[in-house]
Amino acid sequence: MAGTVEPSFRGARRRLIETLQDKGIKDLAVLNAIDAVQRHKFVPASTRHRAYEDAALPIGSGQTISQPFVHARSIELLELTGRERVLEIGTGSGYQTALLAQLAAQVFSVERVALLIERARTLLAEMDVRNVSMLLGDGTLGWRDYGPYDGIIVGAGAPHVPTAYSEQLAEGGRLVLPVGGREEQVLCVFTKRGTQLERRDITPVRFVPLIGAGGWPPG
């Protein structure tokens, strides 16, 4: 899906892959996706020279593109095989969306900031990504029309699990969600078993707050 990588970024991307492996990322499909998707196209020109650092970067509208390790770990927790329907909450820059498009059969992505979703839509079209659908709206409500989903991945921190996610997750499906306060959270993976969600805590994280009816109020 990605085009030819500029030579000046090739070495930086490979060093990022080595860094992620050193930090414990083992899923080769995830690492291959990170190697294929050109992260520098998803960050502002002013920070492009830092695109392959393992660091979060600002993307405008008060939002960030997450640290590559956090993207890799979160996606790895979904345990994708290539056949799944995945709901992404928080399209943001579109970078994680592009990674998911490499790893799942179909991706449905919801973003509340119009400027961000339009930029992401343009970038993914330029990359000829065809298995992604996008919706401008309240991500805490999910996207009921196309559920249930085999995986749900959320790029913002919530005070609790929004009811919509539990309802729209398929039996045996996984929800990856940062849960905690507005400033700091724990990255959690929930597995749906009947009417219950089994929770496993993974690592402390810092995400922007999940704003909406099922999350934090604005402000």
Q: Which residues are catalytic?
A: 66
Q: What angle do CA 159, 23, 14 make, to 5 degrees?
A: 115
Of 133, 106, 111, 11, which is closest to residue 59 (Cα–Cα)?
Answer: 111
How big is the chain, counted in residues?
219
Residue 106: strand pairing partners: 85
- 172 burial class (0-12, 13-18, 19+ CB within 10 angstroms)? exposed
The answer to whether the peptide bond before residue 162 is cis (omega within 30 degrees of 0) is no
> What is the Cα–Cα distance from 11 to 1, expressed in whole angstroms?
20
Amino acid identity for residue 86 in this structure: V
Report the Cα 187 to chain-centroid distance in Å. Answer: 12
